[in-house]
Amino acid sequence: MTAESSQEEIDAPETESVPQELLHGAPVVGEGTDRTLFAGREGILDLVRALRADGFYQCIDLCAVDYLTHPCRPALPAGIEPERFEVVVHLINHSDRTRIRIRVQVPAEDATMPTLFPVHPTVEAMEREAFDLMGIHFVGHPDMSRILMPDDWNGHPLRKDYEVGRIPVQFKSVPGAR
């Protein structure tokens, strides 16, 4: 063994195979009241149903993130491939006073995922907002129409590739103004 190879062994990080925690089949990061689950699109509805059975009766937030130009994406556990979009769902268990965050990777070439409406009807407006502003279509949603932008609006204004400054503004005169 040379001096260089022994120094490399000292500098190399120790790698242990730590079994990853799973909850209803989804990898978990964090502990206590700050836990994040990573679900696949195909299993999200089953996961949310299982969490509801565990006491997570309320969905308090659903939003979408576009990582097209974001250099500092939060770490993903092994086996979860990063995609351009991510849907983030926050559930709360009032009995235990705990919250869970679910992160779902959504590819740009197929920006769809199943609706959570059958389990949590309160997501109706939140899913419409994610569709309207980011272009993520929630399959099975009862009214997947725009909620903030006009019905004839082209594009999704919170996407990182949306052209800034090209919004046509129509000015109207104010009655009584000079």
CA dihedral of 25, 29, 32, 34, whole degrees rounded to 10: -110
Q: Is 104 inside any structural domain?
A: yes
> Each residue's pLDDT tens digit in the chain (178 positions)?
444 444 444 444 343 445 589 999 999 998 888 899 999 999 999 999 999 999 999 999 999 999 998 878 888 998 899 999 999 999 999 999 999 999 999 999 999 999 999 999 999 999 999 999 999 999 999 999 999 999 998 999 999 998 876 556 555 555 665 5
Measured CA to CA, the distance from residue 123 to residue 141 in angstroms comes to 10
Measured CA to CA, the distance from residue 65 to residue 139 in angstroms comes to 18
**115, 141 in Cβ contact below 8 A?**
yes
**139, 112 in Cβ contact below 8 A?**
yes
Q: Is 10 inside any structural domain?
A: no
Tokens encoding 72: 């500092």
Tokens encoding 55: 């006491």
Q: Is 144 inside any structural domain?
A: no
CATH number (domain holding residue 62): 3.30.460.80
Q: Is 172 inside any structural domain?
A: no
Q: Is 29 left (phi over 0), alpha (psi -120 to 50) or beta?
A: beta
The predicted pLDDT at position 88 comes to 98
Which residues constitute the domain of residue 59?
21-139
Q: Is 25 inside any structural domain?
A: yes
What number of residues does the chain have? 178
Q: Is 69 inside any structural domain?
A: yes
The predicted pLDDT at position 8 comes to 46
Beta carbons within 10 angstroms of residue 134's beta carbon: 21
Q: Is 173 inside any structural domain?
A: no
The predicted pLDDT at position 54 comes to 97
Give the chain's domain count: 1
Tokens encoding 99: 């919250």
Provide the whole-model pTM: 0.81
Q: Is 154 inside any structural domain?
A: no
